[in-house]
Each structure stands twice: as structure tokens, then as C-alpha cells.
């Protein structure tokens, strides 16, 4: 690989690994310094914090980038298959081994082997892995000649391996062998200053569905805890790009999209929808809690869902509660009130759109004029309403 200047490497890296917090600048600096070595590296950090991004960047910036990076999620392979997954096997080595097959070490030859969720590596395999790292030699399951392992190992985990050593689940000698170069990624909540840059990065990623973000939306997003870290933020932006393409996301909309993302583990802002949808500029908006509390759909927080549903009907199933969700809260809900509030909101919206021409509002709602008048009486919506200052024209 042609040698790039250090400044160019750093510049490239800051476009892949976003964030100007001190922690992210340190991580990028470390990647630049250690990418040229072959030493093992252990990346730690909570789920979704970017461990795989770091591993890939390390590989791509190293002299091994012309070869493969093989990723093995140690927790995703059945216990009895992991040895053959790593080292390959010979035909007939075990029941079902109908053909010889290469393993990850062989496929990563000359490149990098990324062992994700290393804490899930079965204990008896840990010693075999350690031996390969020490001797740089391995054999396929079922025998054959010893192969040279020309790979750089990068391991990652979201668990605390020191605790796993104490409880006898992880070998201390393997830990030290992997942890030659440690990289620690903090949770997003511990580097909130990165949130705005990440949001703007993801908001501009999809050429067809770009959206922009207002200052009040940034205030909502930076005060949210992001338990799913950057992955959750990226998914939030994907949702926003579907539902708000070409528009500027407001604080209320950001709040609402957050609550959609945590439909199975959220409390919804109890304030009326109109207050949420039109926050005072610069207001510090309380945001969706990360606590795993059931969603309670009140009338007012269901209402803003409806335009979103109309805009993306194919996503309806992900917006609506499933039968198993506890949407009733501790003391239940009043369904009549919820439905009446929804009906009233639509009537007010139709009157606003039609400039209070009753016949036009009725058409927009698919109602007879007399039915609309009757509903307006029931909801005490005056024909000269206080929505606007117009005299009734219908």
C-alpha cells in the first residue's frame, strides 16, 4: 500500500469514525499509531458504540489492507462448531464434514481476524486459541500439516473480561495475550458532544431522503441517553429520513421519533401533543426515558402518529402497539376519550386547512356537512373557532 501522510490518514479516519470528543480524538490517534503494528488489540465498549467500525478502520489503515478481514462473532457459532469455524476441517473429521473446508485463520491469511464478542468464546477453545497466538501455527480439525497463521488478531467485547476472569469464565493468559493494545470506546451518553455531528452525518447520508435538524431537535437528542449508542442513533436517523425527508426536524418530532424507536421500553412525554410539537425555542425539553417502562398511549400522544402513518403506511405495524405490549398503564385508559381526541384533532386540522369553510372541511374528512356540524357541536368547536380569527364561512 502506498504510504499516506499522517495528516491524510487522520483526515480519512475522521470521516469514518465520527466525533470530536476528547475520547474519540484519542481513539483515532491510537488507531493511527497502532495500525502499522501486528500486535493484538482488544476493543471494549458497550453494544453499538462502534467496536466493529474501529476494527475495520484498523485493518483498512494497516499494511494488511490488501488482504481480507474475517469477522467471527464468537457468541453466534454453536459450541461444537467453533473449532472448525476457526481452523477449518478435513473431510470426514466429524459427522457432517462431507467436504474439507477452510477456517477463518486460513481465509484471513495475510489479513486480520476480528473476533467479536470474544467473551463468549467457549472456555476449552480459549486455550486452543491461545496456543495458536503463541506459536502462530494451527491445524485443521481432523489433522493434516500445521499451517502458518499470518493474521493480526483484533478482539472485541461489550462484557467486562476482568470480571469474567474472576468468575472463572475467561482465561487470564488469553486476556493478556489479546489485550496488548487496548482501545476503549465510551458509551454515547458519556460523549454527548459527538451527538450533533453524528446526527448531521447520518441525516445527510441518504441522497434521496436527506433531512435537516433544528436547534430544538438537537437539544432533545443531546439530552437523550441513547442506551443503544451510535447504532440506536443511526436507526433514529433512518426513521427520520423516511418520515421527514427534505424537511427540518423539530424538537417535538425528534421527541416523537425517539418514542417510536423505544416502543417496547419507553415512557412517553406526558405533555399534550401540541405542547410537544411546538416547543418554545431553546426550551429544555424532557426526553424519553431509557427506563424499561411500558408505553402508555394517551390520546394526545397518539394524535401526531397519524400523519406519520399516512406518510408511510408500510411502516404501520412498527408504529402500532402489538397485542403483547402493555399500552394500558397501571390503571387502564379511556378508549372513548382517546378516539374522541383523535376525531377532534382531525376536525380542527380540516377546519384550519379549509379556512373554516364547513363544506370543504367535511369533504376533507369524508363526512356529510350535517355530520360534521353535529360533531363540532358535540366537541364544542364553534363555527367561529378560536383556531383562527376567521368568521365562519360555511
Interaction of residue 132 with ligand ATP, rule CB under 6 A: no
* Residues 6+ away with beta carbon under 8 Å from 206: 238, 241
Cα atoms in the Cβ-side hemisphere of radius 13 Å centred on 87: 24
Among 10, 90, 169, 234, interactor with ligand ATP by CB under 6 A: 234
Per-residue binding letters, 95-124, with ligand ATP (x by CB under 6 A): ---------------------x--------
- DSSP secondary structure string for all residues of 268-287: ---S-HHHHHSPPTT-----
Among 35, 40, 44, 49, interactor with ligand ATP by CB under 6 A: 49
| Range list of H helices, the chain | 6-16, 22-34, 51-60, 82-87, 104-107, 123-135, 161-166, 172-178, 195-203, 215-223, 229-243, 251-261, 273-277, 299-302, 305-311, 316-319, 335-353, 358-365, 369-378
Interaction of residue 51 with ligand ATP, rule CB under 6 A: yes
Least Å distance, CB 265 to ligand ATP, is 17
Least Å distance, CB 200 to ligand ATP, is 12
Helix-, strand-, coil-residue percentages of the chain, each rounded to 5:
50, 10, 45
* Residues 6+ away with beta carbon under 8 Å from 99: 91
Among 13, 17, 93, 290, interactor with ligand ATP by CB under 6 A: 17
Q: What angle do CA 229, 232, 236 make, to 5 degrees?
A: 140
Q: Which is nearer to ligand ATP, 53 or 357 (CB)?
A: 53
Instruction: Decide: residue 288, CB within 10 A, 0-12 exposed, 13-18 middle, 19+ buried.
Output: buried
The three three-digit cell numbers of residue 271, written as one number: 405533555
Least Å distance, CB 285 to ligand ATP, is 25
Among 10, 107, 210, 231, interactor with ligand ATP by CB under 6 A: 231
Binding window for ligand ATP (CB under 6 A); candidates: 76-84, 176-184, 228-236, 381-389: 228-236
Interaction of residue 186 with ligand ATP, rule CB under 6 A: no
Binding window for ligand ATP (CB under 6 A); candidates: 48-56, 134-142, 325-333, 365-373: 48-56
Cα atoms in the Cβ-side hemisphere of radius 13 Å centred on 253: 21
Least Å distance, CB 106 to ligand ATP, is 24
Binding window for ligand ATP (CB under 6 A); candidates: 47-55, 163-171, 328-336, 363-371: 47-55
Interaction of residue 47 with ligand ATP, rule CB under 6 A: yes
Per-residue binding letters, 285-304, with ligand ATP (x by CB under 6 A): --------------------
Per-residue binding letters, 136-175, with ligand ATP (x by CB under 6 A): ----------------------x-----------------
Interaction of residue 45 with ligand ATP, rule CB under 6 A: yes
C-alpha separations of 48 from 11, 57, 61, 198, 257 in Å: 23, 16, 22, 13, 19
Q: Which is nearer to ligand ATP, 58 or 295 (CB)?
A: 58
Torsion of CA 10, 14, 17, 20, to 10 degrees: 110
Residue ranges in contact with ligand ATP by CB under 6 A: 17-19, 45, 47-53, 116, 158, 230-231, 234
Amino acid at each position: 500500500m502506498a504510504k499516506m501522510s499522517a495528516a491524510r490518514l487522520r483526515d480519512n479516519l475522521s470521516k469514518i469514525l465520527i466525533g470530536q470528543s476528547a475520547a474519540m480524538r484519542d481513539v483515532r490517534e491510537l488507531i493511527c499509531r497502532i495500525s502499522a503494528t501486528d500486535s493484538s488489540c482488544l476493543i471494549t465498549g458497550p453494544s453499538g458504540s462502534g467496536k466493529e467500525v474501529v476494527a475495520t478502520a484498523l485493518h483498512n489503515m494497516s499494511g494488511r489492507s490488501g488482504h481480507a478481514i474475517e469477522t467471527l462473532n464468537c457468541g453466534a457459532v454453536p459450541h461444537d462448531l467453533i473449532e472448525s469455524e476457526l481452523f477449518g476441517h478435513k473431510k470426514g473429521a466429524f459427522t457432517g464434514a462431507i467436504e474439507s473446508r477452510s477456517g477463518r485463520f486460513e481465509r484471513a491469511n495475510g489479513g486480520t481476524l476480528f473476533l467479536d464478542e470474544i467473551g463468549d468464546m467457549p472456555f476449552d477453545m480459549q486455550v486452543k486459541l491461545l496456543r495458536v497466538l503463541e506459536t502462530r501455527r494451527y491445524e485443521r480439525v481432523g489433522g493434516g500439516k500445521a499451517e502458518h497463521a499470518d493474521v493480526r488478531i483484533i478482539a472485541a467485547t461489550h462484557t467486562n473480561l476482568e470480571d469474567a476472569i474472576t468468575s472463572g469464565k475467561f482465561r487470564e493468559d488469553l486476556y493478556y495475550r489479546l489485550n496488548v493494545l487496548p482501545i476503549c470506546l465510551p458509551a454515547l451518553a458519556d460523549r454527548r458532544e459527538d451527538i450533533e455531528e453524528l446526527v448531521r452525518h447520518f441525516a445527510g447520508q441518504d441522497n434521496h431522503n436527506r433531512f435537516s435538524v433544528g436547534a430544538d431537535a438537537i437539544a432533545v437528542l443531546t439530552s437523550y441517553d441513547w442506551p443503544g449508542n451510535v447504532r440506536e442513533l443511526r436507526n433514529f436517523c433512518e426513521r427520520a429520513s423516511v418520515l421527514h425527508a427534505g424537511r427540518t426536524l423539530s424538537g417535538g418530532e425528534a421527541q416523537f421519533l425517539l418514542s417510536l424507536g423505544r416502543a417496547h421500553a419507553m415512557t412517553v412525554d406526558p405533555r399534550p401533543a401540541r405542547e410537544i410539537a411546538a416547543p418554545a425555542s431553546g426550551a429544555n425539553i424532557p426526553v424519553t426515558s431509557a427506563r424499561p417502562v411500558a408505553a402508555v398511549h394517551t390520546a394526545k400522544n397518539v394524535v401526531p402518529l397519524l400523519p406519520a402513518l399516512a406518510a408511510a403506511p408500510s411502516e404501520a405495524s412498527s408504529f402500532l402497539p402489538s397485542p403483547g405490549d402493555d399500552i394500558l398503564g397501571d390503571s387502564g385508559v379511556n378508549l372513548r376519550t382517546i378516539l374522541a381526541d383523535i376525531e377532534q384533532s382531525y376536525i380542527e386540522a380540516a377546519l384550519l386547512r379549509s379556512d373554516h369553510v364547513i363544506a370543504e372541511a367535511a369533504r376533507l374528512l369524508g363526512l356529510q356537512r350535517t355530520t360534521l356540524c353535529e360533531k363540532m357541536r358535540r366537541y364544542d368547536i364553534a363555527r367561529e373557532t378560536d383556531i383562527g380569527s376567521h368568521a365562519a364561512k360555511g
